[in-house]
């Protein structure tokens, strides 16, 4: 319908070409006025963005703020928010209970992924090039220094917040039944967080990272049975050229291969595994009945005998 | 006192997070303890008043009849999350603008960094290298710590304190965690602030001397005993033979596990000092604390299965006790190994 209109207008104008200019102008003015009217009418319907087709197609529900059903749907029908239940225990929103530490840790992981991808645009995991890329990033790339600093400090902060999160879980006894397994998933996440930091440390290929990784991987030499200098290692045929350290470094010294392996673990391997574990971690929080508290206190008189299975 | 040296260490950009932790850990510990205290008071009150226990909503959080038990996540939780991400983002921006990430010279295998330190959160491991051989410090201990952490929920048989802060009901569990956490922080602290060139002990404020020579004056336990006055008097020279030291070391380690186990067994049922009448003199209370069992803790111990008990004992003695004992042996008595065999040394 609408697309036909300009055509009609055109044919009309062509047909009445000999008409006087004022007549033509009059018609144009008339049409413009009508169009304006239409536009105003239509704009009124856009006044509430939540009523637009675009909004509804994205969010699937209108957020009529007073309607409790919509508040639930706002959570349930959003892929990012549906990690949450629609409703939670009134006291569980108190900042003092969880300190928001798990959430902050996750947010830092997101920040690290974002800044990390940007860093990847400027970085070659190769001897000589790697160090130059960092210098380039610090001195020439717009906001490069800020980008590098942010990735660095977010990583340190993530280690701290993961510890504090774990500390909170201990203090509130949240590892107890039925959350034992999620605690174990958490321990794996802690280890992965530390490994992410460690693999990243080598990447600038400066003295700091090089020697830290040298010291770190030298310990791998001493792995019992699988290291060339560990107990039972030599007896099982381990040499510096086939033990675990060799596997980690892709060689017997920290060199180009080690840089490449570090890079791949840091940018692909560990983040991938960590994401999977985080997905399980969050899923289990829901399945275990949400955040553990603040729960009503239990009294000594309520202690039941241990169930015999 | 060389303040400059101390400042160099504390202000190294990669060490700033530890300095931050010096503030963050106490703040959050205080936040936890404050809530635990409030809950503990409530528990005492409700335990003394069975009627109230039936009607009270059992939380320290305020509550009024008529209030909904649950809230909508949108907006009441989502808005907090949003606010927190904003704050974290601002902190990160400020931190990143004011402090630059370190970058040293390009890597050079021919020029050893001295001291060559791992990032601060790994310094606990690196410091452990002083006390144990690399296969223990670098492989066995980290594995034991990881597995020990994973095992913890399964050996803590107490149903108390699930989802609320309390100290009173979880003294032993919190004590063990706290002890581990403290030890870890202490190792990191030593590794960061005290170890200097050659991984030598420099007190905070002492100037790092790059020319200090490390001379190994450490001795093994069997030598220490065999060559001591008592050892000579008792003719313990045979301890220095290959078989002698292997058997001796095995006995020492076995004895350590037995004594350690007894120690934790004793500690498990102690409870708090506040279970005694406060009007008694402190020494009397201490004596009673050492010699008598706490009823509540004994009840919890009785619920623990044999498997839970033994698993806990294994990790407690192997990590929580072995680490400080070896640390003291090394630092105070300069003992290197307690068990020397042809295959491994501990
Ligand atoms: C990458 C690291 C981690 C992330 C992103 C993460 C994320 C979260 C989040 C968002 C929550 C919801 C409650 C809260 O915010 O406190 C949570 C809960 C929990 N986390 Fe983690 N976590 C991580 C590491 C850990 C670690 C290291 C542990 C323990 C060893 C752990 C154990 C738990 C447990 C048991 C819960 C349930 C707590 C409750 O119900 O009160 N998590 N985690």
Q: Look up tokens 């190294």; give the residue.
A: B12
User: Average pLDDT for residues A49-54, to the nearest whole number?
Assistant: 80
CA B284 – CA B300 distance, rounded (Å): 26
| Closest C-alpha to B111, from A207, A255, A259 | A207
Whether pLDDT at A135 is above 90: yes
Report how far residue A296's alpha carbon sits from residue B164's, in angstroms, rounded to the nearest whole number.
Answer: 7
A5 against B35, higher pLDDT: B35
Asked whether A115 lines ligand 1 (CB < 6 A), one says no
Residue A162 CB less than 6 A away from ligand 1: yes
- Give phi and psi for A296, each to the nearest 5: -60, 140
State the pLDDT at residue B31. Answer: 94
Q: CATH for A100-290, among 3.40.50.620, 1.20.810.10, 3.40.50.300, 2.60.34.10?
A: 1.20.810.10
- Chain A residues lying within 8 Å of B75, measured CB to CB: 71
Tens-digit pLDDT profile for chain B (346 aa)?
778 888 888 888 888 888 888 889 999 999 999 999 999 999 999 888 888 888 888 888 888 888 888 888 888 889 999 999 999 999 999 999 999 988 888 888 888 877 888 888 888 888 998 888 888 888 899 999 999 999 999 999 899 999 999 999 999 999 999 999 999 988 998 888 888 887 888 888 778 877 776 666 778 888 888 888 887 888 777 777 888 888 888 898 999 999 999 999 999 988 888 888 878 888 888 898 888 888 888 988 988 999 999 999 999 999 999 999 999 888 888 888 888 888 788 8
Instruction: Name the percent of chain A lying above pLDDT 90.
Output: 50
Count CB neighbours of B296 within 10 A. 19
The residue nearest atom 35 of ligand 1, judged by CA position, is A183
Would you call A244 an interface residue with chain B, using a CB distance cutoff of 8 Å?
Answer: no
What pLDDT is recorded for position B265? Answer: 94
pLDDT average, residue stretch A246-255: 87
Of A86, A293, A304, the CB nearest to B163: A293
Q: Are A107 and B153 in contact (CB < 8 Å)?
A: no
Find which of A9-13, A147-151, B225-229, B239-243 is predicted with most confidence, using mean pLDDT.
A147-151
Across the interface, whether the CB atoms of A173 and B162 are under 8 A apart is answered yes
Query: Within chain B, where are the H helices?
Result: 3-11, 16-47, 50-55, 73-76, 78-98, 123-131, 134, 141-155, 171-189, 221-226, 229-233, 242-268, 282-291, 295-303, 306-315, 322-333
CA of A108 to the centre of ligand 1 (A): 14
**C-alpha to C-alpha distance for B68 and B271, rounded to whole angstroms:** 38
Among candidates B14, B69, B116 on the partner chain, residue whose Cβ is nearest the Cβ of A89: B69
Q: pLDDT value at position B215?
A: 65
pLDDT score, position A309: 53
**Quick one: which H or E segment has residue A58?**
helix A53-59
Give whole-number Cα distances, B95 to A218, B91, B121, in Å: 33, 6, 19
Spatial distance between the Cα atoms of A269 and A196, rounded to a whole number of angstroms: 10
Of the candidates A275, A267, A271, the residue with the CA atom closest to the CA atom of residue A123: A267
DSSP 3-state assignment of B197? helix
Share of chain A above pLDDT 70, in %: 90
**Which residue on chain A is closest to B61 by alpha carbon?**
A91
User: Cα(B175)–Cα(B179) distance, rounded to whole angstroms?
Assistant: 6
Cβ neighbours for A208, distance < 8 A, ≥ 6 positions apart: A201, B14, B102, B103, B104, B113
Cα B50 to ligand 1 centre (Å): 35
Cα–Cα distance for residue pair A143/A120, rounded to 1 Å: 14
Query: What is the Cα–Cα distance from B47 to B52, expressed in whole angstroms?
Result: 9
For ligand 1, whether the C-beta of A108 sits within 6 Å is no
Q: For residue A241, report the phi and psi dihedrals to the nearest 5 degrees.
A: -105, 10
> At A301, is the pLDDT very low, low, confident or very high (cuts 50, 70, 90)?
confident
Task: Tell me the C-alpha to C-alpha distance, in Å, between residue B341 and each of B111, B228, B240.
Answer: 36, 21, 11
What residue owns the CA closest to ligand 1's atom 29?
Answer: A186
Distance CA A253, CA A255 (A): 6
Contact B107 A87 (CB under 8 A): no
A292: which chain B residues are within 8 Å (Cβ-Cβ)?
A: 162-163
pLDDT at A147 > cutoff 80: yes
Question: Six-digit token pair at B59?
Answer: 């939380």
Neighbouring C-beta atoms of residue B107, cutoff 10 Å = 24
Question: Of the residues A103, A285, A287, A291, which should be mutated to test ligand 1's pocket, given the most ligand atoms within 8 Å of the CB?
Answer: A285
Looking at residue B234, what is its pLDDT?
81
Cα-based distances in Å from A240 to A134, A225, B304: 31, 13, 46
Q: Could you tell me how many CB contacts below 8 A there are between chain A and chain B?
A: 286
pLDDT band at A64 (very low <50, low <70, confident <90, very high): low
* Number of Cβ within a 10 Å radius of residue A196: 24
Of A222, A147, A156, A235, nearest to A193 by C-alpha is A156
A245 in reach of chain B (CB within 8 A): no
Ligand 1 and A130: CB distance under 6 A:
no
Task: Quote the crossing angle between the two packed helices B171-189 and B16-47, to the nearest 10°.
Answer: 170
Can you give the pLDDT at residue B96?
94
Q: Which helix (H) or strand (E) holds A21?
A: helix A21-46
Reported as type and span, the H/E element at residue A34 is helix A21-46
ipTM surpasses 0.85: yes
End-to-end CA distance of chain A: 74
Distance in Å, CA A187 to ligand 1 centroid: 9
Partners of residue B275 in chain A, C-beta under 8 Å:
none
- The SS3 of residue A88 is strand
| pLDDT at B203 (0 to 100) | 82
Confidence (pLDDT) at A307: 65
Confidence (pLDDT) at A144 = 94
If you average pLDDT over residues A33-62, what whole number do you get? Answer: 84
E runs forming strands in A65-172: 87-89
Domain chopping of chain B, boundaries: 1-70+119-210, 216-346
From the CB of A105, is ligand 1 less than 6 Å away? yes
Question: Which atom of ligand 1 has the smallest separation from the CA of A172?
Answer: 41
Per-residue pLDDT at A2: 45
pLDDT band (50, 70, 90) for residue A123? very high
The pLDDT assigned to B179 comes to: 94
The pLDDT, as a whole number, for residue A63 is 61
CA angle B276, B282, B283 (to 5 degrees): 110
Q: What is the pLDDT of residue A1?
A: 42
Banded model confidence at residue A62, pLDDT cuts 50, 70, 90: low
Q: 3-state class of B340 per DSSP?
A: strand
Asked whether the beta carbons of A299 and B43 are under 8 A apart, the reply is yes
Contact A164, A195 (CB under 8 A): no
DSSP 8-state class, residue A295: P
Phi and psi angles of residue A88, each rounded to the nearest 5 degrees, phi first = -135, 165
Count of beta carbons in the 10 Å neighbourhood of residue A114: 14
């Amino acid at each position: 319908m609408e697309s036909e209109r300009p055509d009609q207008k055109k044919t009309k104008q062509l047909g009445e070409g000999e008409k006087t200019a004022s007549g033509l102008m009059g018609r144009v003015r008339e049409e413009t006025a009508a169009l304006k009217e239409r536009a105003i009418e239509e704009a009124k319907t856009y006044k509430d963005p939540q009523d637009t087709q675009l909004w509804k197609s994205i969010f699937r529900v209108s957020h009529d703020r007073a309607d409790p059903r919509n508040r639930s749907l706002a959570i349930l029908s959003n892929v990012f928010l549906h990690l949450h239940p629609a409703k939670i225990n009134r006291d569980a929103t108190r900042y003092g209970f969880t300190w928001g530490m798990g959430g902050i840790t996750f947010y830092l992981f997101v920040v690290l992924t974002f800044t990390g991808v940007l860093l990847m645009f400027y970085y070659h995991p190769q001897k000589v090039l790697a160090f130059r890329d960092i210098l380039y990033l610090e001195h020439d790339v717009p906001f490069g220094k800020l980008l590098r600093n942010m990735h660095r400090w977010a990583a340190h902060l993530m280690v701290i917040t993961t510890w504090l999160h774990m500390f909170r879980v201990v203090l509130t006894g949240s590892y107890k039944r039925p959350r034992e397994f999620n605690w174990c998933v958490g321990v794996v996440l802690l280890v992965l967080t530390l490994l992410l930091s460690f693999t990243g440390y080598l990447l600038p290929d400066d003295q700091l990272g090089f020697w830290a990784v040298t010291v770190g991987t030298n310990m791998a030499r001493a792995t019992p049975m699988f290291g060339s200098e560990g107990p039972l290692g030599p007896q099982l045929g381990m040499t510096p050229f086939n033990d675990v350290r060799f596997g980690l470094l892709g060689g017997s010294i920290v060199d180009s291969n080690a840089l490449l392996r570090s890079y791949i673990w840091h940018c692909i391997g560990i983040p991938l595994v960590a994401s999977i574990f985080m997905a399980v971690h969050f899923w289990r929080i829901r399945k275990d009945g949400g955040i553990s508290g603040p729960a009503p206190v239990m009294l000594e008189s309520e202690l039941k005998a241990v169930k015999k299975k | 006192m060389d303040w400059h040296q101390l400042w160099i260490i504390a202000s190294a950009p990669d060490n700033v997070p530890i300095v931050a932790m010096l503030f963050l850990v106490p703040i959050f510990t205080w936040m936890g303890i404050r809530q635990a205290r409030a809950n503990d008071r409530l528990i005492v009150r409700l335990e003394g008043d069975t009627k109230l226990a039936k009607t009270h909503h059992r939380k320290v959080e305020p509550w009024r009849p008529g209030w909904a038990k649950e809230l909508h996540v949108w907006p009441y939780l989502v808005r907090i999350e949003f606010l927190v991400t904003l704050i974290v983002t601002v902190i990160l921006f400020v931190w990143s603008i004011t402090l630059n990430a370190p970058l040293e010279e390009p890597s050079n295998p021919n020029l050893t960094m001295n001291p060559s330190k791992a990032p601060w959160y790994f310094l606990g491991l690196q410091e452990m290298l002083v006390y144990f051989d690399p296969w223990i410090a670098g492989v066995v201990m980290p594995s034991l710590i990881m597995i020990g952490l994973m095992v913890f929920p399964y050996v803590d048989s107490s149903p108390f304190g699930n989802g609320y802060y309390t100290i009173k009901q979880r003294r032993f569990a919190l004590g063990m965690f706290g002890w581990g956490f403290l030890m870890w922080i202490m190792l990191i602290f030593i590794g960061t602030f005290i170890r200097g060139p050659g991984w030598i002990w420099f007190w905070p404020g002492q100037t790092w001397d790059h020319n200090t020579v490390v001379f190994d004056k450490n001795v093994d336990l069997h030598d220490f005993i065999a060559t001591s006055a008592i050892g000579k008097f008792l003719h313990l020279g045979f301890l220095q033979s290959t078989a002698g030291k292997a058997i001796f070391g095995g006995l020492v380690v076995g004895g350590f596990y037995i004594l350690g186990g007894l120690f934790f067994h004793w500690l498990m049922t102690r409870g708090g000092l506040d279970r005694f009448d406060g009007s008694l003199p402190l020494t009397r209370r201490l004596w009673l604390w050492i010699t008598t069992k706490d009823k509540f803790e004994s009840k919890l111990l009785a619920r623990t299965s044999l498997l839970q008990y033994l698993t806990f004992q294994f990790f407690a003695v192997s990590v929580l006790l072995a680490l400080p004992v070896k640390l003291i042996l090394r630092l105070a008595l300069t003992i290197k190994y307690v068990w020397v065999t042809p295959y491994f040394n501990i």
